[in-house]
Structure 1
């Protein structure tokens, strides 16, 4: 029997697109979860923000543990795989869960807000530490967000919650912009994001760099320059890395055979997928799974 990776949808306790809890409240909720084990790998179908205010915590996202401390904020995107660790119960802070449709409509497809770097896990580190903020900080804003979320009055609550989320996301984007590679044009970031979205939708059909440049109506050279300036990789290397991550997700989080995974990730033959994976990771799919 094939065991599929649990996909966890947005299920707030209210009709709001935003859910805010303390880490203690979140831990209690996690221990009552029956649909999946939050302390084992699962894929989220929403956007998640984890803010640490006291102690240290290590959170697993896409085959890596991220170390968090006081003032650290972790941004986990929809479709990433993650799991909580046991030390979660010893940490203080807040968890913010955002409905994917709300975030995508208001921040990724909106002309008013343009989050080019935040939640762009192919481009940026998902963690912002307190020292990166300079004189600024997230904690006070998050505390106000939580206060408003738990306030009994519902008058203008949704608008106020969205205003605080607006501040948090834009502050985070500003930090990412300040620490980004200098000289990368905003238009190039927009094209890179279009390329990344197209790759996510079509990598099973094609891994050809020229197919993606043609779809974007730009030259291969320009696409290669854009990807290289934003990620430090050629288009081909970026595509290969993207596919490797997708293969790893299947290997670690399902019991699908190598043959099944090869077809699901766009390879005609399992041998070709194994060769591709070994070339890019220096190990075989089965050894990686072990």
Structure 2
């Protein structure tokens, strides 16, 4: 049986350019991984914004398929599962940057742009907004060509921040805004979940860490995501299991250990309850997509 290793693609950072930000095109990405590798599920070791300039096709992110055309933008957070349905006519920009680079920008609502549990991973730009975004990207590309000095990274951060604010404006129009206190609590909760959530972590554990009641936490989650805290945590854990399952170098026992299931049978029960199929059937289905 063919074994699949989950490919991790690194940031295309040159030795002389230690800035953790870059803009590449499809041909550049094909220098890091083969066409076949990109069509198989893989993970990126950085955050990615993909902006389609020409071409139509399908992109798979976290086991769901999304159509794209000119003006489509995909937001992919580091370590999400990604696979391309490769299209020779596709022209696009890939903006890639690390969490470290992103954390140097102003907080505001920028970080939530990658909140894939709340927002769709894709967005369609109007023609006018598309032109504005491309103009901003061209400024970033010109700045990347300049030799590194004391100002280059700061200017790149400023230009990227401007671009992310443009895109965030569109994103937040689709949702009910939170007040500053709620926003901080929500952001702190997301940080805790994305960095350490396992099967043994319960809603009550998070409310204690955030020093708020279970009810307050649930109200904020429901207001912001239209999901209860329990549903949110279960869906997040399900995604983590799916990502682990794509790596055939890991046994079910190892995945169970990583996510604090006391035994693999409980992981299987959890998975079947939410996904309506076994982990083995899920792996077979994903390999056929």
Asked if 1:149 is matched to 2:144, the reply is yes
In 2, Cα distance between equivalents of 1:39 and 1:123: 26
Q: Is the 8 A contact 1:189 1:230 kept in 2?
A: no
Question: 1:49 is matched with which residue?
Answer: 49
In 2, Cα distance between equivalents of 1:161 and 1:116: 17
Question: 2:157 is matched with which residue?
Answer: 162
In 2, Cα distance between equivalents of 1:229 and 1:260: 36
Gaps of 5+ in 1: none
Q: Is the 8 A contact 2:54 2:69 kept in 1?
A: yes
Note the C-alpha offset of 1:83: 2.6
> Equivalent residue of 2:162, what SS?
helix
Question: 1:195 is matched with which residue?
Answer: 189
Query: Measured at CA, do residues 71 and 264 of structure 1 come closer, stay the same or move farther in structure 2, by a change above 3 Å?
Result: same
In 1, Cα distance between equivalents of 2:223 and 2:7: 36
Question: 2:203 is matched with which residue?
Answer: 209
- Give TM-score scaled by structure 2 length: 0.85
Instruction: Indicate the larger mover: 211-220 or 194-203.
Output: 194-203
> Equivalent residue of 2:114, what SS?
coil
Query: Measured at CA, do residues 171 and 236 of structure 1 come closer, stay the same or move farther in structure 2, by a change above 3 Å?
Result: same
Instruction: Write the mapping of 1:92-103 to structure 2, written as runs, cut at 5 A.
Output: 92-103=91-102
Asked if 1:19 is matched to 2:13, the reply is no
> Equivalent residue of 1:60, what SS?
strand
Asked if 1:274 is matched to 2:268, the reply is yes
Query: Measured at CA, do residues 281 and 133 of structure 1 come closer, stay the same or move farther in structure 2, by a change above 3 Å?
Result: farther
Query: Measured at CA, do residues 64 and 216 of structure 1 come closer, stay the same or move farther in structure 2, by a change above 3 Å?
Result: same
> Equivalent residue of 2:126, what SS?
helix
Q: Quick one: which of 159, 168, 182 aligns to 1:173? A: 168
Note the C-alpha offset of 1:74: 1.4
Question: What is the CA RMSD across the aligned residues, in angstroms?
Answer: 2.7
Note the C-alpha offset of 1:104: 2.2
